[in-house]
Amino acid sequence: MAMVYSTSGRHIAVDLWGVDFDLLKDAEWLEGHAVEAVERTGATVLGVQSQQFEPHGATVLVLLSESHLSIHTYPEHGFAAVDVYTCGEHVVPEEAIRYLIEILKPEKVFGKKLVRGEGEMRVEDVSTARGELQIR
C-alpha cells in the first residue's frame, strides 16, 4: 500500500527589523544558523544553497523533505525576510523562527502564519511580547 501524506502545512513569514549589519552580511554564517534552525524543527535537510551579494546582503535557502526555509538579507537596512514552510504534522516550523530571532536579535518582528492544505487558507498573526514569539 502506498504511503499517504498529509497536505496540511504551516507557512510562517517574518520581517525582522533592526538587526545588526554584521549579522546580515555573511552568507556562510547565516547558512550555518539556517541549518541549525531547521534541525530544531525535526525537518529533514535535502540541500542548502546560499549566495553572498556585493557589496553586502545574502540569500540562504534550505531545501527540506517537508518544504523549505529561506532568509533574504538587506544589511544596509537592518532587515531580514525569513520564511519557513513545512508540510505534515511532525515538524515544528515555529522553532526555526524562534531560533533565528534569538540569534539575530531584531528590534522589531512582524509576521504572519498561513495554515495551508486544509481547504481555504487561514492567516494568523505572529508577534513578539517581551522577546517571546507568540504564534497562535
- The model's pLDDT over 30-45, given as tens digits with 9 standing for 90+, comes to 999 999 999 999 999 9
- CA 74/CA 24 separation, integer angstroms: 7
Whether residue 53 lies inside any domain: the answer is yes
Catalytic residue among 11, 33, 50, 87: 87
Q: Does a structural domain hold residue 41?
A: yes
pLDDT tens over the chain, length 136 residues:
676 777 888 999 999 999 999 999 999 999 999 999 999 999 999 999 999 999 999 999 999 999 999 999 999 999 999 999 998 888 899 999 999 999 999 999 999 999 888 889 899 888 655 445 665 4
Task: Provide φ and ψ at 81, rounded to 5°.
Answer: -105, 120
Quote the pLDDT of residue 130: 47
Q: Which one is catalytic: 68, 72, 90, 127? A: 72
Domain-located, residue 97: yes
CATH number of the structural domain spanning residue 90: 3.60.90.10
Q: Is 67 known to be catalytic? A: yes
Residue 4 resides in a domain: no
Number of domains in the chain: 1
- Cα R_g (the chain), whole angstroms: 15
Q: 93-104 vs 27-39: helix axis angle to the nearest 10?
A: 140
Owner of C-alpha cell 556585493: 54
**For residue 135, what pLDDT is reported?**
57
72 part of the active site = yes
Write down the mean pLDDT value for the chain. Answer: 90
Catalytic residue among 6, 67, 70, 127: 67
Domain containing 41 equals: 9-135
Q: How many CB atoms lie within 10 A of CB 44?
A: 12
